[in-house]
């Protein structure tokens, strides 16, 4: 079985030494009492839950999968999953960052992000059962009626009920304007929903007594397209006025998807036959309400791949230190053994350092992004809230797409380190690869994220949000550019910042003449911007490591070496990406579709 050691030291480094989160918390009234000791205590306990309770179930859950009873439509999760979930609820983990008004602990979202990274490392399939509940919670907080909040939020907060989001239908994926599920108004103010949904993560299971489905559907008089979509709350069991459970609702599992990975999670096909629901928010304005949940899910998916990158790296590094094969090209490094450990070989080190750099860079991006969410939600200053909201909007598609792309590459590299053993199930590496692949697809494919970033988040406001990021980076470059030891990090960061500005302007001008130019450049553009954010955060981490490299703590020496690897070996990818983005739409669109 693969091993996993929660990366508490690196989390603490980012939280306290790079970002000084406790200083930010003191400026936020709701979190003013949260100090470094509280942060450390929470993530240490979260690490124990992940490594001791969830990790042992990862391989067995993958092998066993979920089972559907066709007669009752009930789904049973793999052995041990239900018991682990009971421990999760007993420990108060679902309520960590929820509002005390609904029974939550009221702690910063940053702590929840760290918890979820560790749980995803230990067992992504299990973590998906409670994962969407946070998005459902946020959607109801923002758009739910007082009655919906009273009946549902305490149970979702405590974890006694989970939540899903039901968007996709067989004939339409991301293009939600094509969905057909209908909602018929009833005399009592409720609605009866009829239709089918597919790919619903944790759509049916036996971990909780109730599941709260948030379902997109159309009213009878709804306009065509995405402007005619409404959001409905449809519970598995109806909920009485006093909060007790009533009869079984008309929403049930018609089948389970047979997937490449995440076998331990029930990806359900849901059938709605006169299912009773209540409207969330305003009629025909379901997408803005659902986007609260979708954006939370997109950040969460990035953390899924971050978790897999970390655990894959840990196992590959341990294997490379022990596996002996061939001699170093520069002479024996273990003359007392018949061969050297493979960690002496440059390309093995390149694969390991790629995974490590993407894990540590992704962790910094994830924590920084979630700290912005805490500022957006909890700051007393309206200007600060809006500035944080703009940055979160810009960074969300990057967290989702860049971190998941990196996770796929990193887990594949780590499997490669194992050679033939990596392809064998018992070592656990091939599961990390299979599980990571879905993260590039669901919650909006990475191409959709790229189109969202370039089209909606950058070009639509003439680069206003991007300029805010640019000012942040420019200030860092100005402050650190005079420090000689920082030149190897500040120079490439400043250079890439200038290139991003020029590239953005060029694409924008082309797009005025031909909108396909956005689609042609978007994926390359997102990856370039992802590297810009990584370079900024890696430069900040290098600054701290430089100041402490002579402290005697090898952590800082390793951090500095990883930073140098990132700037020397990974950041140069941006040159090819920029060239590809500039090549435009013509090489993609000139061939007649019939010739494919």
Which residues are catalytic, by number?
443
Report how far residue 231's alpha carbon sits from residue 244's, in angstroms, rounded to the nearest whole number.
23
Strand bridging mode 230-235 / 210-217: antiparallel
Contact 127, 262 (CB under 8 A): no
Report how far residue 121's alpha carbon sits from residue 99's, in angstroms, rounded to the nearest whole number.
27
- Report residue 257: phi and psi, to 5°: -75, 140
Strand bridging mode 210-217 / 161-166: parallel
How big is the chain by its Cα radius of gyration, in Å? 24
Nearest to 399 by CA among 168, 43, 113: 113
Strand bridging mode 191-201 / 237-239: unpaired
Contact 531, 573 (CB under 8 A): yes
Contact 135, 300 (CB under 8 A): yes
Tokens matching residue 580? 């590809």
Is residue 420 packed enough to be buried (19+ CB in 10 Å), middle (13-18) or exposed (0-12)?
exposed
Report how far residue 449's alpha carbon sits from residue 457's, in angstroms, rounded to the nearest whole number.
10
Report how far residue 357's alpha carbon sits from residue 538's, in angstroms, rounded to the nearest whole number.
9
Reported as type and span, the H/E element at residue 158 is: helix 146-158
Contact 205, 254 (CB under 8 A): no
N residues, the chain: 596
Is residue 539 packed enough to be buried (19+ CB in 10 Å), middle (13-18) or exposed (0-12)?
buried
Nearest to 357 by CA among 201, 538, 546: 538
Reported as type and span, the H/E element at residue 271 is: strand 267-280
Tokens matching residue 229? 């979509």
Q: Which residues are within 8 A (CB) of 250 and not within 5 positions of it... i.e. 6 or more apart?
A: 192, 272, 273, 274, 275, 276
Query: Between 382-417 and 346-378, two packed helices, what is the crossing angle to 10 degrees?
Result: 160
Which DSSP category does 51 fall into? I
Measure CA of the first residue to CA of the last residue in the chain; give whole Å: 44
Contact 213, 183 (CB under 8 A): no
């Amino acid at each position: 079985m693969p091993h996993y050691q929660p990366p508490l030291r690196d989390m603490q480094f980012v939280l306290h030494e790079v970002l000084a989160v406790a200083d930010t918390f003191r400026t936020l009234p709701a979190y003013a009492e949260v100090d470094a000791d509280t942060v450390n205590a929470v993530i240490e306990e979260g690490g124990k839950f992940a490594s001791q309770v969830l990790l042992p179930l990862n391989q067995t859950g993958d092998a066993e999968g979920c089972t559907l009873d066709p007669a009752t439509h009930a789904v049973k999760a793999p052995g041990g999953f239900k018991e682990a979930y009971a421990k999760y609820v007993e420990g108060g983990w679902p309520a960590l960052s929820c509002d005390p008004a609904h029974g939550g602990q009221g702690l910063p979202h940053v702590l929840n992000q760290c918890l979820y990274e560790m749980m995803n490392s230990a067992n992504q399939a299990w973590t998906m059962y409670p994962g969407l509940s946070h998005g459902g919670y946020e959607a109801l907080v923002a758009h739910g009626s007082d009655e919906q909040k009273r009946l549902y939020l305490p149970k979702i907060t405590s974890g006694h009920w989970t939540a899903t989001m039901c968007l996709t239908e067989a004939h339409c994926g991301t293009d939600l304007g094509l969905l057909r599920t209908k909602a018929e108004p009833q005399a009592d103010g409720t609605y009866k929903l009829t239709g089918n949904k597919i790919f619903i993560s944790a759509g049916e299971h036996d971990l909780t007594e109730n599941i709260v489905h948030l379902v997109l559907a159309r009213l009878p008089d709804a306009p065509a397209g995405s402007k005619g979509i409404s959001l409905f709350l449809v519970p598995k069991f109806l909920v009485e006025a006093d909060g007790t459970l009533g009869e079984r609702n008309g929403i049930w599992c018609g089948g389970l998807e047979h997937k490449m990975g995440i076998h331990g999670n029930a990806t359900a096909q849901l059938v709605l036959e006169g299912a009773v629901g209540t409207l969330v928010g305003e009629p025909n304005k379901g997408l803005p309400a659902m986007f609260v949940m979708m954006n939370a899910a997109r950040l969460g998916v990035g953390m899924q791949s971050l978790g897999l990158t970390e655990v894959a790296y840990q196992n590959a590094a341990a294997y490379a230190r022990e596996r002996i094969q061939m001699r170093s090209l520069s002479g024996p490094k273990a003359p007392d053994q018949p061969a050297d450990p493979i960690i002496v070989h440059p390309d093995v080190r390149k694969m390991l350092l790629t995974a490590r750099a993407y894990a540590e860079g992704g962790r910094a991006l994830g924590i920084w992004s979630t700290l912005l969410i805490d500022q957006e939600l909890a700051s007393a200053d309206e200007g600060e809230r809006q500035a944080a909201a703009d940055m979160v909007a810009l960074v969300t598609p990057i967290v989702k797409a860049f971190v998941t792309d990196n996770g796929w590459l990193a887990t594949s590299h780590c499997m490669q380190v194992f050679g033939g053993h990596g392809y064998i199930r018992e070592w656990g590496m091939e599961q990390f690869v299979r599980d990571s692949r879905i993260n590039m697809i669901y919650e909006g494919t990475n191409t959709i994220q790229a189109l969202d970033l370039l089209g909606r988040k950058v070009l639509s406001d003439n680069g206003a949000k991007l300029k805010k990021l640019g000012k942040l980076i420019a200030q860092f470059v100005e402050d650190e550019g005079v420090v000689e030891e920082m030149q190897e990090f500040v120079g490439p960061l400043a250079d890439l910042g200038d290139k991003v500005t020029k590239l953005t302007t060029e694409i924008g001008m082309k797009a005025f003449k031909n909108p396909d130019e956005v689609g042609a450049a978007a994926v390359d553009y997102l990856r370039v911007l992802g590297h810009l954010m990584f370079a900024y955060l890696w430069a900040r981490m290098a600054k701290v490591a430089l100041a402490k490299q002579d402290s005697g703590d090898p952590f800082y020496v390793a951090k500095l070496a990883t930073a140098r690897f990132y700037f020397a070996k990974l950041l140069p990818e941006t040159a090819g990406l920029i060239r590809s983005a500039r090549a435009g739409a013509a090489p993609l669109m000139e061939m007649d579709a019939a010739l494919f």
